[in-house]
Amino acid sequence: MRLIASFRCHHTHNLLLPNSFFSLPTAPTTTVTPNRKSPKCIPVSSSTIRLEVRAHSVSPKMVKAILVHELGGPQVLKWEDVELGDPKDGEIRVKNKAIGLNFIDIYFRKGVYKAAAFPFTPGMEAVGIVTAVGSGLTGRKVGDIVAYAGNPMGSYAEEQILPADKVVPVPPSIDPIVAASILLKGMTAQFLLRRCFKVERGHTVLVHAAAGGVGSLLCQWANTLGATVIGTVSTKEKAIQAKDDGCHHVIIYKEEDFVTRVNEITSGQGVEVVYDSVGKDTFQGSLDCLKTCGFMVSFGQSSGSPDPVPLSALAVKSLFLTRPTMMHYTITRDELLETAGEVFANAASGVLRVRVNHTYPLSQAAQAHADLESRKTSGSVVLIPDGAQ
């Protein structure tokens, strides 16, 4: 009875965000917090005292986060309170300073990609400061500035729990807002250009959405590698940016047919590789732009899923087609560190110039989604936790 009476002086409530869109939701962690009311003095045994001390070691706190309770438009992004506990073994708690906005967040919000559970917090990229470290963990300490991109989903929050092996250190030379704007997009550009298809001097590449977050980095990096870069954009303003980012030829696809123009630029030869994040609207045209044995890299679908492609369509020019995912190229810790390290090194040296053209308070994530989806943005978009600046 003493044990029961002792526990009646406490209450339990905990809401966890999904750990990963690749895994089943984890069982909720039970947290026990002290009641602010003074408990009655009840004699207890020494074993009960030891149990109470362990219970007090957990220190849940309330934080603000974006939650999605149902699929739909930007209006389903809700700014709510959630309770966050302490990190467990192998985990850290991070107070976010800047959060990257990416098209994959829209895919999850709309249901193109399936979240593990509802409600869920979107977001695949953030930079922050470590505020707590799980027991027995080495190599991470409170006060470290770290970043992550990819797994687990849930960065649209003031604070979050992360697996320690999924974060990377942010060099002091890189501003947190810059790091949050470039890590996921930069690592995407790295594996697309260096591993998925290895771009080399003398190659001609076609980059769709050349003024977008990933497109901008692809153009800069491919230019540095010695490739001839052709980019497609929607407006004259974006054409100016794409040119500044290293595009040798810029096509405003609303004014001219990009397939015809690519054919003219390459004297009918076509390009070695197409990087297509648009999907349905450009897919067939992208295949038409490839030279014999060319590579079609479809890594997004902002206009919708492409129509099915019969194998016979590839056989005409012995084409290669891939639909890669960054997470598969950064599975191991070494791969993650190497990829992120190359991105940060290129940003620090000036090879990659980051354009953070738009910042929004985290609480206004719905507006940021609406603007990104309607192509009102260019470069990178970053969400700043309210009150973080």
Q: Where are the domains of the chain?
A: 61-182+333-384, 197-323
Q: Which fold has domain 61-182+333-384?
A: Quinone Oxidoreductase; Chain A, domain 1 (3.90.180)
Q: Which fold has domain 197-323?
A: Rossmann fold (3.40.50)
Q: Provide the 10 A C-beta neighbour count for residue 186.
A: 25
User: Using CA atoms, how far apart are residues 13 and 30, in angstroms rounded to an integer?
Assistant: 7
Name residues whose C-beta falls within 8 Å of residue 331's C-beta, 6 or more positions apart in sequence. Answer: none
Tell me if 55 sits within 8 A of 34, measured CB to CB. Answer: no
* Environment class of 91 (CB within 10 Å of its CB; exposed 0-12, middle 13-18, buried 19+): buried
pLDDT in tens, 210-260: 998 899 999 999 999 999 999 999 999 999 999 999 999 999 999 999 999
Name residues whose C-beta falls within 8 Å of residue 380's C-beta, 6 or more positions apart in sequence. Answer: 100, 101, 181, 182, 185, 213, 216, 354, 355, 356, 357, 358
pTM: 0.78
Q: What is the pLDDT along the chain (389 residues), one digit of tens a residue?
A: 333 333 333 333 333 333 333 333 344 444 444 444 443 433 434 333 333 333 334 456 899 999 999 999 999 999 999 999 999 999 999 999 999 999 899 999 999 999 999 999 999 999 999 999 998 777 789 999 999 998 899 999 999 999 999 999 999 999 999 999 999 999 999 999 999 999 999 999 999 999 988 999 999 999 999 999 999 999 999 999 999 999 999 999 999 999 999 999 999 999 999 999 999 999 999 999 999 999 999 998 888 889 898 999 999 999 999 999 999 999 999 999 999 999 999 999 999 998 888 999 999 999 999 999 988 887 789 999 987 75
